[in-house]
Amino acid sequence: MPKIVDHEQRRDEIALVACRVVAEYGFDQATIVRIAREAGYTTGMVAHYFDTKQEIIIAALRLILRRIEERLTAAAGADPQLLALLAEALPVDATRFTECAFWAAFWGQVSADRRLKRINAWMHREYLKLFERCLARGWSEWRDWPAPTREQALRSVVTFINGLTASVVASPGDWPAARQIEQLRLQLTMLHAWASGGAAALPRRGRRLTVTGPRSVSA
């Protein structure tokens, strides 16, 4: 009796190996031949599922997004605090470090490829939706805040996590898991305080700010 092959599972396996290869060797060195070898497949087998390396990379991006969403959904089911929920997206263990290293390598390619730009824009929108659900669940006041405040808080959280991710990938020895989580705690505390009582102090367009230094800038 012929063996039944789960083609979606095999695509995911190849995409997951591509994540590890890109994280370890970099984007340029992550050839189809190397990905196939690391996966234990022939290049012909990989070509059966993906026509190009770019298609493998896109599949890997979607896989990572799905894995992050699954982790956050599972964590939400246990009703944790917002800090614990968002920490699921940080590179606090080997699996998540690989995912984040892959992201960092991908970001370096986006500016030179029109299709990857479109994929990145789509991924960013999905990322925002995912984290908005987390913030709405974690902060009871979320829906009472004005829409501009919610938008600013959401983008600040995502920007912070992306920046922290890049820092950890670049200098992992400087960022043990406990330090990552503590920095996230501080960021969430400051954002919550701002959104709860300091949003009115945010400078409006055209208002001038005095900054430390020889000149002031317009907001």
pLDDT tens-place string over residues 122-145:
888 988 998 998 899 889 999 999
Spatial separation of the C-alpha atoms in residues 25 and 27, rounded to whole Å: 7
Count of domains forming the chain: 1
pLDDT given at position 122: 87
pLDDT given at position 217: 33
Spatial separation of the C-alpha atoms in residues 45 and 164, rounded to whole Å: 37
Domain-embedded: residue 87: yes
23 lies in which domain range? 7-197
Domain-embedded: residue 206: no
Q: How many CA atoms lie within 13 A of 216 on its CB side?
A: 7
pLDDT tens track for 77-118: 655 688 988 888 899 999 889 988 988 888 888 877 788 888
User: Which CA distances in Å does 190 have to 140, 142, 157, 195, 201?
Assistant: 16, 15, 11, 9, 14
Average pLDDT, the chain: 83
Domain-embedded: residue 216: no
Long-range contacts of 47-56 (CB under 8 A, 24+ apart): 49/7, 49/10, 49/11, 49/14, 50/11, 50/14, 54/113, 54/115, 54/116, 56/14, 56/15, 56/18, 56/32
Domain-embedded: residue 57: yes
Q: Does 219 have pLDDT greater than 50?
A: no
CATH of the domain at 150: 1.10.357.10
